[in-house]
Amino acid sequence: MTDKYTVLAMKDTGPSPEAQIGRDLVRRGLVVAPLLVAASWLAWGSAGAWSSAYGVALVLTNFIVAAGLIALAARVSYAMMLGAMLFGYLVRLALVALAIYLVRNAAWVDLVALGITVVVTHTGLLFWEMRYISASLAFPGLRPQPHSTNNAEASV
């Protein structure tokens, strides 16, 4: 019988689905970033555009740091991964708040545009990414892309 402490001491040595998902989130974020910046520019002018660009950068950095923390901690132990997920979230939340706090009075910042961008980008990218996540242990991380095969090639 497996001891509960032994299970927590186990580590993950396989490929990192967290890093794969983080990279995919950033790739999708870079696709929508120009649209968000343009919409903010139309709504709030140049301050809105700069704020939106800053907000997108904060969100994408947050996703990459989260994926990196989990991937690195999983290589140490599952207990370390759990701690990195919990306390990493709190630290990253504080860092995002600090990053916004430090620029709140800058001339190029529109706090409404920045706040909306951060919230919409976080939730929007996570909901968009749900369509591409595999909920299978056979394919952890992203769902494999179907390969289109020609019937003539398949019969050879």
CA–CA distance, 114 with 37 (Å, rounded to integer): 10
CA–CA distance, 39 with 48 (Å, rounded to integer): 9
Find, among 54, 33, 32, the residue nearest to 109 by Cα. Answer: 54
- Tell me which DSSP letter residue 108 carries: T
How much of the chain, in percent, has pLDDT values that exceed 70? 76
Q: pLDDT digit string (tens) for 3-17?
A: 666 666 677 666 778
Q: What is the pLDDT of residue 16?
A: 75
Structural domain includes residue 145: no
**Residue 134: enclosing H or E segment and its boundaries?**
strand 133-135
pLDDT reading at 62 higher than 70: yes
Structural domain includes residue 149: no
The predicted model gives 59-82 an average pLDDT of: 89
Q: What is the pLDDT of residue 80?
A: 85
Structural domain includes residue 65: yes
Structural domain includes residue 8: no
Structural domain includes residue 152: no
Query: By three-state DSSP, how is residue 55 classified?
Result: helix
pLDDT reading at 156 higher than 70: no
Q: What is the pLDDT of residue 114?
A: 96
Structural domain includes residue 10: no
Asked if 129 and 25 count as a contact pair (C-beta separation under 8 A), the reply is yes
Structural domain includes residue 75: yes
Q: Can you list the positions of beta strands (E) in the chain?
A: 133-135, 140-142
Burial class, 29, CB count within 10 angstroms (exposed 0-12 / middle 13-18 / buried 19+): buried
pLDDT grade, residue 123 (50/70/90)?
very high
Domain count for the chain: 1
Q: What is the pLDDT of residue 55?
A: 97
Asked if 61 and 22 count as a contact pair (C-beta separation under 8 A), the reply is no
Calculate the CA 88 to chain-centre distance: 13
Structural domain includes residue 2: no
Asked if 72 and 42 count as a contact pair (C-beta separation under 8 A), the reply is no
User: Which domain does 27 fall in, by range?
Assistant: 15-133
Burial class, 135, CB count within 10 angstroms (exposed 0-12 / middle 13-18 / buried 19+): exposed
